[in-house]
């Protein structure tokens, strides 16, 4: 059974803290994605990666960075958390060369609150 796991379901951090969100997939997928989900805005793509050590900016990369040192793991980093980064963060993975055509498998999400 395919699985995408995220390190935390809930996280509370203070403004200015460095925050790491971890995502691991066990499907040997090439592509991995980080989204944030806010009411009325759907899912917005932060960063994605189609190979180890590769990364591409999504639609809202400002204030975030990512790391993909191993194929199965994709980390999202908030260098200095701010209150406007309070959100639900979803990680996803997919196989295939053109990621937009293939099913994305999602983790359960991390609800981050920045105080």
Q: How far is CA 18 from the centre of its chain?
A: 15
CA distance 109 to 88: 6
Q: Which residues contact 38 (CB under 8 A, 6 or more apart)?
A: 44, 87, 88
We find the least distance from the C-beta atom of residue 103 to other proteins, in angstroms, to be 5
- Give the helix/strand (H/E) hosting 47: strand 42-49
Q: In the complex with other proteins, which residue's Cβ is closer, 31 or 75?
A: 31
Given the complex with other proteins, which of 17 and 95 has the nearer CB atom? Answer: 95
Q: Answer whether 36's CB lies under 8 Å from 88's CB.
A: yes
Nearest distance in Å: CB 48, other proteins = 6
Q: Among residues 56 and 79, whose Cβ is nearest to other proteins?
A: 56
- C-beta of 16 vs 108, nearer to other proteins: 108
Least separation in angstroms between CB 14 and other proteins? 25
Residue ranges binding other proteins (CB under 8 A)? 4, 33, 35, 40-45, 48, 50, 56, 58-59, 90, 92, 98-101, 103-109
């Amino acid at each position: 059974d395919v699985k995408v796991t995220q390190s935390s379901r809930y996280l509370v951090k203070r403004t200015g803290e460095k925050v790491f969100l971890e995502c691991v997939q066990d499907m040997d997928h090439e592509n991995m994605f980080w989204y944030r989900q806010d009411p009325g805005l759907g899912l917005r793509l932060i960063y994605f990666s189609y190979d180890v050590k590769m990364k591409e900016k999504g639609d809202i990369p400002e204030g975030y960075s990512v790391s993909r040192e191993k194929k199965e793991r994709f980390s999202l980093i908030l260098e200095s958390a701010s209150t406007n980064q309070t959100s639900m963060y979803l990680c996803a993975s997919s196989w295939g060369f053109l990621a937009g055509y293939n099913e994305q498998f999602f983790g359960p999400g991390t609800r981050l609150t920045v105080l």
